[in-house]
Amino acid sequence: MAPPEVSLYHVQTELQRAEPFVELFGLDVDTSMLSEGDLRIRVTGSSRVDGEIYVVEMRFDGYRAIPPFVEFVHPVTGEIGVVTAYPSPFHSHPCICARYNRKTYGGHSGVHSEWQYGDWASDPGTTEIGGMLNHIFATINDHFNTYKGRKE
């Protein structure tokens, strides 16, 4: 596992490179919690399809040795990881099923017990925070023509 100061360095560096995606989707990136003791950010954005607000929490303990733990947070109740925090295109598990999300791996949800942590860093387009945000918010903004609103 990477030491907290190394993880913090990578997160801060990648957030600077993520700025084009932050601007593209009009995201609010809250780094007020981000420190060596709490390697976490929250990103808020809305769907251009229906105006729904979505909050994504990314936890970076051990980052880049292991992928971040990415979860939706309900914008009203603050509940983390509940079905109603998720937009329609993502799994009803609920989970963002992508190699960059630690929750997807067997030790956390069992969805992909066959995946190895090292695999995530070779997945084109999502090996840094900017690519992860692009994947999430392009989906919410109907990039793949699958967005149907918030899950119920």
Can you read off the two tokens belonging to residue 24? 């593209």
Query: CA 77 to CA 73: how far, in whole Å?
Result: 8
- Predicted structure pTM score: 0.94
Q: Residues in the chain with pLDDT < 70?
A: 108-110, 143
Kindly give the pairing relationship between strand 69-73 and strand 53-59: antiparallel
Cis, bond preceding 87 (omega within 30 deg of 0): no
Contact at 8 Å (CB) between 43 and 30?
yes
Are the C-beta atoms of 64 and 5 separated by less than 8 Å? Answer: no
Go through 34-70 and write b for each residue having 16 or more CB atoms within 10 A of its CB, e for each that does not.
beeeebbbbbebbbeeeebebbbbbbbbbbbebbbbb
Task: Give the model's pLDDT for residue 109.
Answer: 67
DSSP H or E run through 45: strand 40-46
